[in-house]
Amino acid sequence: MIAPEGKVILIPASVFLLVLGFLSYKSGNVWIKSTFIIDFIFVIFSLYFFRDPERAIPEDSSKFISPADGKVVQIIDINDPEVGQAKQISIFLSVFNVHKQVVPMGGEIVHSKYNKGKFLAAWNHKASMDNEQTEVLFQTKSGLKYKVKQIAGLIARRILCYMNESVSYERGDKLGFIRFGSRVDIIVPYSFNIDVKVGDIVENSKSILGSEV
């Protein structure tokens, strides 16, 4: 399946590819042929990048699933103004990862806000504080507060977040999408049991990051 967020890129690129293919066939111009090849590669890459595979969500609702695909690059202790003493799990998404994000544990949106910022490389840990990002604060039925931050990277310049304040969402619901390489930070209470370590590869909806105490 292809994510709908890719249509704005795939449709024009595909139309352009057809036009270039026709012109290349008719004229034989080497520059048109070269442009056709470049656009063909871009379309194939975009089809791969905007894939949206269906995944089974673990049945145990007490388990906190990964909101994003990628590699766990950092797990640190922080002090968050709304969560309090907390742990931050950072996931780096390369251009080869699925770029859809999902809700990791059902709850109500306390706030969803956008912060303008820089476009540092997403693997740079300063990106968590300095880069353009959205921040979503959830509160579960049990009172657990946690955050998911979608962070732009060096190439990623478009963050889409579908969370609305005061609305409740279920685990696995679509949270958003980031176009091209990026980073997702998850902030959970300090008492949270983390089941992953730095270097682990995780998948949205499928991988378990931990559980509430």
Would you please indicate which residues are annotated as catalytic (active-site) residues?
A: 182
For residue 151, the domain's CATH number is: 2.70.70.10
Give residue 95's pLDDT: 82
Same domain, 185 and 82: yes
pTM of the model: 0.82
User: Count of domains in the chain?
Assistant: 2
Q: State whether 33 and 105 are in the same domain.
A: no
Same domain, 99 and 179: yes
Residue 83, judged by CB atoms within 10 A of its CB (0-12, 13-18, 19+), counts as buried
147 backbone dihedrals φ, ψ, rounded to 5°: -125, 150
Together in a domain, 69 and 15: no
Same domain, 38 and 99: no
Residue 89 lies in a domain: yes
pLDDT of residue 120: 58
Whether 56 is in a domain gets the answer no
- pLDDT computed for residue 182 by the predictor: 82
The radius of gyration computed from the CA coordinates of the chain, to the nearest angstrom, equals: 19
Residue 45 lies in domain: 4-49
- Supply the pLDDT for residue 29: 84
Q: What is the pLDDT of residue 179?
A: 76
**Which residue ranges in the chain fall short of pLDDT 50?**
none
Considering the domain architecture, whether residues 128 and 191 belong to the same structural domain is answered as: yes
Q: Is there a domain that residue 179 lies in?
A: yes
Asked if 176 and 137 sit in the same domain, the reply is yes
Inside any domain, residue 131: yes
CA distances from 144 to 68, 175, 184, 188 (A): 20, 18, 19, 8
